């Protein structure tokens, strides 16, 4: 399926929000606590269900960066902010979408999407944290839940237009986008009127979270000001962040005023922020030779924000071009100064594996495991190397321990399927591939894989029963979606 623009998916999300909650009868309404208008429209459980459904559709429609080091970093940064928010017990999931535009968004259930372009264009870690703190505030203040109340104010033609646009979008992305553009025009003013106060509240609450987490509050107005200045060069197509988070002079002034009252201490960026930015530059590159030249010239001329991160990006770009010898030399230079740095150790192991020196790579991974037990990035990279080095049983055991610890992602499921397949376990390979497809919103494909798994396990009653129970569960979900 062709990948859909995030803006289209964002509009679909609003349509889902506006159409999901049934109209309550007068005698069914329970009075909420004073000040919590969201309690009537949407419970936290409903938010989580809608968020999970939206995420499964999102994974099936856009490219989410699965790189374990990028994923681990944004989760760590997000959790640091959440721990200092108004609701530290709220569950959150942070993820990065491969998209060069500057944007981020919040979805029901605590899902925070970050465009790769936002990370690459943030000049400091505090700027990135400021945007995340703002999006976290939308969730903790239950702004999306409150939006459900607006559903009752939509006219029937408006509702019909949005539904028609979504149906068209399932047949043709271009037709769906055109239909949504027409429907969105009518809903735009309603959304703007509702979200202006929410944006102001998210700025205020987000600023408090930012400071409590130890970041620079001046990063928020600085980021807004820079976007405001560069927007004039974009003509009729400003950065996407400005479309969903309008920046005005008053908003910048308000943010600056709040920052000046907080007396922040000097803040230094974490190295991992710069390393992730460098890695994203390599991941996004469609010309690795050119990327190598860019990093090399930056090192030679001293034009960089962080020398270690620039050298790290240079090494990763060299690996992508197949120059493992020079990449190894650059990484060893980094390790000489910072031998315990996990990113450098993983990069070295990747170089050794790329050069076919698997035993050396395995040794590096084992040492990293001893330093960072159960680390997600270590497990995923190590499992990949084990499969490349024809050690499927070891990879399977490593991945199984990760799943048993409660960590299950699409990447983990896909590696598990490959490990089971390489080990000759066809039924288990199909079963894990089914979980991979389900995770990515492809329920029909998941059902097909489970059917294949059931056939492959025909002589194993216990295994077949487990597979068929999961198959019935997914078929019930499909039937429920068709009936809704």
Q: Which residues contact 143 (CB under 8 A, 6 or more apart)?
A: 106, 195, 198, 201, 202
The strand pairing partners of 151, in sequence order, are none
Options 99, 127, 203, 254, the catalytic residue: 203
Maximum separation of any 2 CA atoms in the chain, in Å: 74
Phi/psi of residue 97, nearest 5 degrees: -100, 135
DSSP state of 266: P
Other CB atoms within a 10 A radius of the CB of residue 482 amount to: 7
Asked whether residue 138 is marked as a ligand-binding residue, the answer is: yes
Percent helix / strand / coil, the chain, rounded to 5: 70, 5, 25
C-alpha to C-alpha distance for 420 and 317, rounded to whole angstroms: 32
Judged by phi (left if over 0) then psi (alpha if -120 to 50, else beta), residue 145 lies in alpha
DSSP state of 89: T
Question: For this structure, is 135 an active site residue?
Answer: yes
DSSP string, 383-442: HHHHHHTT-HHHHHHHHHHHHHTT---HHHHHHHHHHHHHTT-HHHHHHHHHHHHHHTT-
Asked whether residue 134 is marked as a ligand-binding residue, the answer is: yes
C-alpha to C-alpha distance for 263 and 258, rounded to whole angstroms: 10
C-alpha to C-alpha distance for 21 and 25, rounded to whole angstroms: 12
C-alpha to C-alpha distance for 123 and 377, rounded to whole angstroms: 25
C-alpha closest to that of 43 among 60, 30, 53, 55: 30
Options 69, 99, 135, 375, the catalytic residue: 135
- Yes or no: say if 471 and 430 are a contact pair by the CB < 8 Å rule: no
C-alpha to C-alpha distance for 317 and 285, rounded to whole angstroms: 9
- Yes or no: say if 344 and 335 are a contact pair by the CB < 8 Å rule: yes
Exposure on the CB side of residue 422, measured as CA atoms within 13 A: 19
Pull the structure tokens for residue 414.
């896909």
Binding-site residues from annotation for Zn(2+):
134, 138, 199
Q: Which residues are catalytic?
A: 135, 203
């Amino acid at each position: 399926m062709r990948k859909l623009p995030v803006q289209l998916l964002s509009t679909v999300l609003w349509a889902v929000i506006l159409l999901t909650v049934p109209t309550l009868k007068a005698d069914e309404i329970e009075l909420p606590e004073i000040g919590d208008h969201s309690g009537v429209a949407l419970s936290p459980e409903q938010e989580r269900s809608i968020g999970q459904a939206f995420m499964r559709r999102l994974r099936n429609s856009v490219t989410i960066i699965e790189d374990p080091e990028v994923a681990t970093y944004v989760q760590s940064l997000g959790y640091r902010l959440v721990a200092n928010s108004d609701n530290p017990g709220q569950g959150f999931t942070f993820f990065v979408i491969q998209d060069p535009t500057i944007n981020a968004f919040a979805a029901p259930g605590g899902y925070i999407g970050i465009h790769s372009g936002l990370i690459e264009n943030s000049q400091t870690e505090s700027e990135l944290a400021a945007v995340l703190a703002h999006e976290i505030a939308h969730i903790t203040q239950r702004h999306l839940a409150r939006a459900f109340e607006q559903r009752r104010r939509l006219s029937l033609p408006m509702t019909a237009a949005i539904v028609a646009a979504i149906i068209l979008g399932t047949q043709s992305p271009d037709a769906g986008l055109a239909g949504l553009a027409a429907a969105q025009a009518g809903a735009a003013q309603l959304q703007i009127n509702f979200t202006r106060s929410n944006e102001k509240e998210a700025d205020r609450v987000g600023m408090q979270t930012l400071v409590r987490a130890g970041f620079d509050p001046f990063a928020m107005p600085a980021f807004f000001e820079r976007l405001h200045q560069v927007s004039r060069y974009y003509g009729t197509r400003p950065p996407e962040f400005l479309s969903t988070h309008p920046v005005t002079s008053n908003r910048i002034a308000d943010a600056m005023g709040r920052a000046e009252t907080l007396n922040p201490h000097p803040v230094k960026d974490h190295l991992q922020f710069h390393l992730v930015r460098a890695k994203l530059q390599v991941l996004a590159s469609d010309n690795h030779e050119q990327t190598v030249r860019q990093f090399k010239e930056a090192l030679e001329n001293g034009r960089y924000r962080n020398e270690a991160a620039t050298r790290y990006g240079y090494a990763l770009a060299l690996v992508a071009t197949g120059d493992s010898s020079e990449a190894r030399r650059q990484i060893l230079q980094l390790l000489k100064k910072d031998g315990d740095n996990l990113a450098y150790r993983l990069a070295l192991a990747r170089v050794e594996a790329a050069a076919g020196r698997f035993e050396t790579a395995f040794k590096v991974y084992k040492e990293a495991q001893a330093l960072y037990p159960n680390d997600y990035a270590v497990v995923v990279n190590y499992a990949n190397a084990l499969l490349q080095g024809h050690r499927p049983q070891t990879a399977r055991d490593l991945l199984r321990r990760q799943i048993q610890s409660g960590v299950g992602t699409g990447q983990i499921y896909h590696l598990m399927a490959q490990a089971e397949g390489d080990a000759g376990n066809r039924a288990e390979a199909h079963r894990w591939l089914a979980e991979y497809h389900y995770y990515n919103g492809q329920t029909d494909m998941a059902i097909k894989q489970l059917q294949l798994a059931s056939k492959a396990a025909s002589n194993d009653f216990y295994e077949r029963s487990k597979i068929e129970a999961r198959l019935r569960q997914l078929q019930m979900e499909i039937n429920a979606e068709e009936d809704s």
